[in-house]
Structure 1
Amino acid sequence: MAEQSLSSAQNAAAEAALVDDLVARARKAQQSFARDADQSRFDMAALAAAWAIMEPARNAALSTQAVEQTGLGNVADKTIKNHRKTLGLLRDIQDVRTVGVIKEEPDKGLTEIARPIGVVGAVVPSTNPAATPANNVINALKCGNAIILSPSPKGVDVCAVLLKHIHAEFDKLGLDHDLVQMVPSPSSKIKTQRLMEAVDLIIVTGSQDNVRRAYESGTPALGVGAGNATVIVDETADLDEAAKKITASKTFDNATSCSSENGVIVVRSVLDDFLQALHAHGGRWLDESAAQAVKSSLFDQGHLNRYMIAKDIDVFLEVAGVQVADQSTAKFVILPGDAVGADAPESGEKLSLALTLYVVDDFEAAMQKTQQVLAFQGAGHSVGLHSRDDSRAVRLGLSMPTCRVIVNQAHCFATGGSFENGLPFSLSMGCGSWGGNSIDDNLHYRHFMNITRIVRPIPANEPSVDEVFKDYWAAAGR
């Protein structure tokens, strides 16, 4: 027993030392990269990493490998995701200064200077084993950092190939390979934990256990919360457009996105028409017997069934042992929703081609149901609204524990940034205090740099006590 304990301790020490070596190499490479740098150096490095994944042949091969090795999603949609998410990020950062003086405020006597963070660690999920690492790498390089990736066990080989392509592009520019590294296989909690402790900033997307460990590591950490996107369809909505967008979002990459709709709350007066519209676009309403069969299969002893999550619809239905109407054109299934909470797992995130539908009497009841769902899972992430009444979107923003209200859009395309909305492109959505996160916006380049402020004296701007308290005294007395 003592020998086993000693051996285990030696193995742990060896794994920690391996990570320490990666960090030391990254730190040396970063210091050289950032020394006397101009904007062009950082921009070219970011573009090199972007082309590593966007070059069409590489993108197709990475997407194919990702599906083969993780068993999640589908090749066509991953190819689109790799391309559009990266292209959108490049648009967002194209004219952004991340070197030297980036802002002057003479009236306040302030000058802001962008500074690299140093070495970034990024823990990335199996659902997007190429797109998420690429996004993190591009942001890190844009701001003058080195980065070390820690992929999930299923995504290790995909990440390694992406890294090879990045290094091939680096060779064209004479950049040091050690600027972008990955924790080598096999993955382990010891390696990931040591990475969290040794870098200057840790980014975590995916496992909420990893997010908690990152916050406890002692290193500044940016983690993102769990998704459970809930969308309201009210009586004013364009039902066909809503059904079309929900279908496109729900089925994209077989629902691997944290922003894929998991619950839809429909006002009763439009239920029949909305179900018809969903059916026309590929949604299949399940009767009580079929719904129970799907739930029994999908929620396997408290865990999602790995043979059903992110699988094609024919595989999903076969595992569940269910047939649906017009099965040849079916794209996803709709579970009748009633209860919310741990005893109703269909009210949570499903990572599969299953959508739970709740029926309510009016918009007030829809807001109450949304509150219940978010209290169970997904607080902070996002809610959606299909409506012609924009004031209802504002009401949701004022009352829901959510950082995003997505209006009349396909949810999974919109939440992480879109060419048709103003959010920054990202694969990591901060959920604020509601989701236990330190950020409430989409992870983007600004999170990858420090700012030094030069502070100069200005003419005094000191109010009198009377000026500050006059309204209070008028209301409450002195």
Structure 2
Amino acid sequence: MVTLDKDLASIQEVRDLLKAAKEAQKTLAKMSQEQIDRICEAIASAAYNNREKLAKMASEETGFGIWQDKIVKNSFASKFVWDYIKDMKTVGIINEDNDKKVIDVAVPVGVVAGLIPSTNPTSTVIYKALISIKAGNAIVFSPHPNALKAILETINIISEAAEKAGCPAGAISCMVKPTMQGTAELMKHDDTSLILATGGSAMVKAAYSSGTPAIGVGPGNGPAFIEKTANIPLAVKRILDSKTFDNGTICASEQSIIVETCNKIQVIDELKKQGAYFLSSEESAQLEKYIMRPNGSMNPQIVGKSVQAIAQLTGLTVPADARVLIAEETRVGHKVPYSREKLAPILAFYTVNNWEEACELATDILYQEGAGHTMMIHSQDDKVIREFGLKKPVSRVLVNTPGALGGIGATTNMAPALTLGCGAVGGSSTSDNISPENLFNVRRIAYGVRELEDLRETGTTPITTTSINEDQLVDTLVERILAKLQ
């Protein structure tokens, strides 16, 4: 009975929040670009000014990651994202083509449901609120229960700042009684226009199964290939910078390293020099038991934990200054933990004979888990880089940059985002780094430029296929259409 009452209370809370959000969104939809931007700037400023406080709250409540790195995430989600989107046209007429006589008008989708993970709770709230309001939408958050306090405090800070800048009350809100039933109601309710889902596979699948349009992101499992022409010390630095950042909680971070036989020794030596600890076969087997749970999901006990904490949990003895644990691996598969996503400072290490084999291995790894997400290549050979870019089943091929920070657009010129689309191959509706442009529709005002008579081909010689081949037929059709348009 207690559980039932809790579920009913959560469902009713969602309905109340959506009702208020829908009314608030009507007001947002009438605002000018200047008014919307003023609100967004206030959100970004308040979040940035509280970046350290919120980082510490998230780390203390979840036990994941490193609070100093979470400060960087909060700064990225507020200041960095705002700097990127502040001049973006998202209200009213956003483009006008006088030659083609087409005008594009931005139309907010309405109310967004923002699902928030425990790995990046405060930064994801800041980012999703910013891009939603920038596009003229209201947003209702479903928080991960393990990060509830940090998420609610983040929303209190940014919603208060937004309302002082003219944002209608209810435009940014959050469930305080999160349950699975309440979240299901949020996703399926008629007043929810779009789901912005970041989190585990089950949650993303539920979002796409809800009947509501959704942008979801599944797991990452990015391999990093260190090709023979790579600057090995720099490649290793970037990989370790990425994998140790917030203890590996960003899904775009590297999950495995692939090297060629010809550079294997140099790479291993450099990894050890920079703080990686290679596990013996016995140690590798010992740790392997803790990476995945019996049901095949990632063990939350290792997520976002340091090498030392993982060693203590698993009974391993590792150097006090070890930064990353590495296990040599040859296998790939659902039941091979090292070949899967590990949101912790743990890496698999594969050896191949050449870049062609690396290409095949990376594809195999990604199709097992992480298809559509991200992979990394460290190389000075543009031909090899392009081959990887043409063939890999990912939405991001990152070149000579840390995966975690490159994938989200911090060290690359992609759109800065904490929700990374995985495309059709990854079961996602888009392959974009999600920005405000993904959160509004475009209404097109199109003037007529031709009449029916212009489209008719009266007075012309009929085209037959007996005297000309298919290519000639196409060329003739094109010529006649172009002649009519002149």
- Give the TM-score band, short-chain normalised: over 0.9
Shift of residue 42 of structure 1?
Answer: 0.6
2:80 corresponds to = 88
How has the CA–CA distance of structure 1 residues 323 and 9 changed in structure 2, closer, same or farther, with 3 Å as cutoff?
closer
Aligned with residue 387 of structure 2, among 383, 386, 395: 395
Whole-Å separation in 2 of the counterparts to 1:403 and 1:174:
37
Contact 1:316 1:353 in 2 (8 A): no
Whole-Å separation in 2 of the counterparts to 1:433 and 1:443:
15
Q: Residue type of the partner of 1:24?
A: K
Q: Residue type of the partner of 1:365?
A: E
Aligned with residue 354 of structure 2, among 362, 367, 372: 362
Q: Residue type of the partner of 1:318?
A: Q
Whole-Å separation in 2 of the counterparts to 1:105 and 1:463:
26
Whole-Å separation in 2 of the counterparts to 1:202 and 1:143:
14
Matches within 5 A, 1:420-459: 420-459=411-450
Whole-Å separation in 2 of the counterparts to 1:349 and 1:444:
25
Q: Deviations over 1:261-309 (max 9, x none)?
A: 1011111110111111111211111111111121123334344333322
2:137 corresponds to = 145
Contact 2:291 2:337 in 1 (8 A): no
Question: Larger radius of gyration, structure 1 or 2?
Answer: 2
Secondary structure of the equivalent of 1:178?
A: coil
Whole-Å separation in 1 of the counterparts to 2:242 and 2:414:
17
Whole-Å separation in 1 of the counterparts to 2:185 and 2:20:
15
Shift of residue 209 of structure 1?
Answer: 1.4
Whole-Å separation in 1 of the counterparts to 2:3 and 2:324:
47
Q: Residue type of the partner of 1:427?
A: L
Does residue 201 (structure 1) correspond to residue 194 (structure 2)? The answer is yes
How has the CA–CA distance of structure 1 residues 271 and 455 changed in structure 2, closer, same or farther, with 3 Å as cutoff?
same
1:259 corresponds to = 252
Shift of residue 448 of structure 1?
Answer: 1.3
| Structure 2 unaligned regions, length at least 5 | 477-486
Q: Deviations over 1:393-428 (max 9, x none)?
A: 21112211111110010111001112x422000011
How has the CA–CA distance of structure 1 residues 276 and 438 changed in structure 2, closer, same or farther, with 3 Å as cutoff?
same
How has the CA–CA distance of structure 1 residues 477 and 283 changed in structure 2, closer, same or farther, with 3 Å as cutoff?
same
| Cα RMSD after superposing both structures | 2.4
| Aligned residues with identical type, % of pairs | 30
Matches within 5 A, 1:223-262: 223-262=216-255
Shift of residue 16 of structure 1?
Answer: 2.4
2:371 corresponds to = 379
Aligned with residue 339 of structure 1, among 317, 321, 331: 331
Q: How many residue pairs are counted as aligned between the two chains?
A: 466
Q: Residue type of the partner of 2:21?
A: A
Whole-Å separation in 2 of the counterparts to 1:247 and 1:124:
26
Shift of residue 111 of structure 1?
Answer: 0.4
Secondary structure of the equivalent of 1:304?
A: coil
1:307 corresponds to = 301
Q: Residue type of the partner of 1:256?
A: T
Shift of residue 85 of structure 1?
Answer: 3.3
Q: Residue type of the partner of 1:102?
A: I
1:282 corresponds to = 275
Shift of residue 450 of structure 1?
Answer: 1.6
Whole-Å separation in 1 of the counterparts to 2:219 and 2:252:
9
Secondary structure of the equivalent of 1:101?
A: strand
Q: Residue type of the partner of 1:453?
A: R
How has the CA–CA distance of structure 1 residues 336 and 24 changed in structure 2, closer, same or farther, with 3 Å as cutoff?
same
Does residue 272 (structure 1) correspond to residue 265 (structure 2)? The answer is yes
Does residue 31 (structure 1) correspond to residue 26 (structure 2)? The answer is yes
How has the CA–CA distance of structure 1 residues 47 and 273 changed in structure 2, closer, same or farther, with 3 Å as cutoff?
same
Whole-Å separation in 1 of the counterparts to 2:16 and 2:305:
39
Whole-Å separation in 2 of the counterparts to 1:462 and 1:369:
53
Contact 1:15 1:190 in 2 (8 A): yes
Shift of residue 467 of structure 1?
Answer: 13
User: Segments of 4+ in structure 1 off by > 6 A?
Assistant: 7-10, 463-471, 475-478
Whole-Å separation in 1 of the counterparts to 2:239 and 2:228:
16
Shift of residue 173 of structure 1?
Answer: 2.1
Q: Residue type of the partner of 2:123?
A: A
How has the CA–CA distance of structure 1 residues 175 and 287 changed in structure 2, closer, same or farther, with 3 Å as cutoff?
same
Does residue 293 (structure 1) correspond to residue 291 (structure 2)? The answer is no
| Structure 1 unaligned regions, length at least 5 | none
Secondary structure of the equivalent of 1:148?
A: strand
Structure 1 stretch 351-360 or stretch 168-177: which is displaced more? 168-177
Shift of residue 385 of structure 1?
Answer: 0.5
Whole-Å separation in 2 of the counterparts to 1:305 and 1:434:
25
Q: Deviations over 1:126-155 (max 9, x none)?
A: 011101111110011111111101111112
Aligned with residue 62 of structure 2, among 70, 75, 87: 70
Q: Deviations over 1:175-210 (max 9, x none)?
A: 33311000112x211111111122111110012212
